[in-house]
């Protein structure tokens, strides 16, 4: 009797394992089925019509990444978009869906910080917060932030149609960010972002203004990753994307710990 019981238990266990493998296989097929692929530093233009959109992201390293989504029309109908990164088993690794909507707040963008746990294929899901029913065109892009080291200034050039430059700070000492505009007509915003537990970028310090030539942000505490962004203004109503022509500027960033 005990042998028959053990036999039935073994067959039931094998059946459950088979069902689990079938579900996993189905998920993998859906994961890879006809989803557009995202390429590092290559923007994708698409339209959100109300149904979540999936994209495949093949990662060949575990280096940190930043994913940005912006409405094509920053004053248009697409509001409170969200980004979620899922692994091959559809488990969420990072998401902006926990964004808290404050009274009177409207946003037409989403930004997600990712440290991939391993090399492989991931799914990036574009959606919107459940409080909204907005639709519209957007630009989606994956960026690899450049590491900003202590007392090693970085010189760069940016144009008003380029979106953002991103820099990663992972300092073991408290620090300041020094910005200097070297030349040009473009007035980008310099922003210090803290990374939330879920991977959303939260702005905690800003430098902006048409006449801004230099400034300092800080002091920020050590032993936590920060993302520095240089580019479009946070406010949709002040964004440089409304400039009638494309302009550029050269700038310098430096991380200071003393």
For residue 28, what pLDDT is reported? 47
Claim to verify: residue 202 and residue 119 sit in the same structural domain: no
Q: What angle do CA 217, 114, 103 make, to 5 degrees?
A: 65
pLDDT tens digits along 220-253: 999 889 999 999 887 644 444 555 688 999 999 9
For residue 244, what pLDDT is reported? 63
Claim to verify: residue 52 and residue 126 sit in the same structural domain: yes
**Pick from 143, 178, 197: which residue ends a domain?**
143
Domain extent, residue 2, equals 1-33
Number of domains in the chain: 3
Beta-bridge mates of residue 157: 250
- The CATH number assigned to the domain holding 252 equals 2.60.120.380
Claim to verify: residue 213 and residue 226 sit in the same structural domain: yes
Claim to verify: residue 42 and residue 15 sit in the same structural domain: no
Claim to verify: residue 105 and residue 173 sit in the same structural domain: no
Q: How far apart, in whole angstroms, are the C-alpha atoms of residue 138 and residue 210? A: 26
- pTM exceeds 0.85: no
Q: How far apart, in whole angstroms, are the C-alpha atoms of residue 63 and residue 119? A: 10
- Phi/psi zone of residue 180: left (φ > 0), alpha (ψ -120 to 50 degrees), beta? beta
Claim to verify: residue 163 and residue 252 sit in the same structural domain: yes
Claim to verify: residue 19 and residue 45 sit in the same structural domain: no
Claim to verify: residue 157 and residue 138 sit in the same structural domain: no
Which H or E run contains 41? none
**Pick from 83, 116, 143: which residue ends a domain?**
143
pLDDT tens digits along 130-156: 878 889 999 999 999 999 999 899 999
For residue 25, what pLDDT is reported? 45
Claim to verify: residue 11 and residue 65 sit in the same structural domain: no
Claim to verify: residue 242 and residue 163 sit in the same structural domain: yes
Claim to verify: residue 151 and residue 252 sit in the same structural domain: yes
Claim to verify: residue 156 and residue 182 sit in the same structural domain: yes
Q: How far apart, in whole angstroms, are the C-alpha atoms of residue 186 and residue 245? A: 10
Which mean pLDDT values do the consecutive 10-residue runs of the chain (258 residues) have? Answer: 49 51 46 76 92 93 94 81 92 84 64 93 92 88 95 94 92 96 94 92 91 94 93 63 77 94
**Pick from 94, 116, 143: which residue ends a domain?**
143
């Amino acid at each position: 009797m005990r042998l028959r019981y053990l036999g039935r238990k073994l067959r039931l266990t094998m059946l459950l394992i088979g069902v689990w493998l079938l579900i996993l296989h189905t998920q993998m097929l859906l994961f890879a089925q006809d989803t557009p692929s995202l390429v590092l530093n290559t923007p994708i233009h698409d339209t959100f019509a109300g149904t979540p959109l999936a994209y495949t992201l093949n990662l060949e390293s575990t280096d940190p990444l930043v994913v940005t989504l912006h409405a094509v029309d920053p004053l248009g109908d697409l509001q409170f978009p969200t980004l979620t990164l899922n692994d091959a088993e559809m488990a969420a690794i990072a998401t902006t869906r926990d964004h808290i909507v404050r009274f009177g707040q409207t946003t037409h963008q989403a930004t997600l910080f990712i440290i991939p746990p391993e090399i492989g294929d991931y799914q990036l899901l574009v959606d919107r917060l459940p409080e909204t029913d907005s639709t519209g065109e957007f630009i989606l892009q994956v960026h690899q932030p450049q590491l900003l080291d202590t007392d090693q200034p970085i010189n760069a050039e940016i144009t008003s149609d380029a979106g953002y430059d991103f820099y990663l700070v992972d300092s073991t000492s408290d620090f300041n960010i020094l910005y200097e505009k070297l030349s040009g007509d473009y007035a980008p915003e310099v922003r210090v972002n803290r990374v939330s537990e879920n991977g959303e970028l939260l702005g905690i310090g800003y430098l902006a203004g048409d006449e801004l030539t230099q400034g300092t942000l800080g002091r920020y505490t050590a032993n936590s990753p920060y993302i520095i962004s240089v580019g479009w203004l946070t406010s949709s109503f002040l964004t440089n994307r409304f400039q009638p022509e494309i302009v550029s500027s050269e700038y310098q960033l430096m991380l200071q710990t003393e």
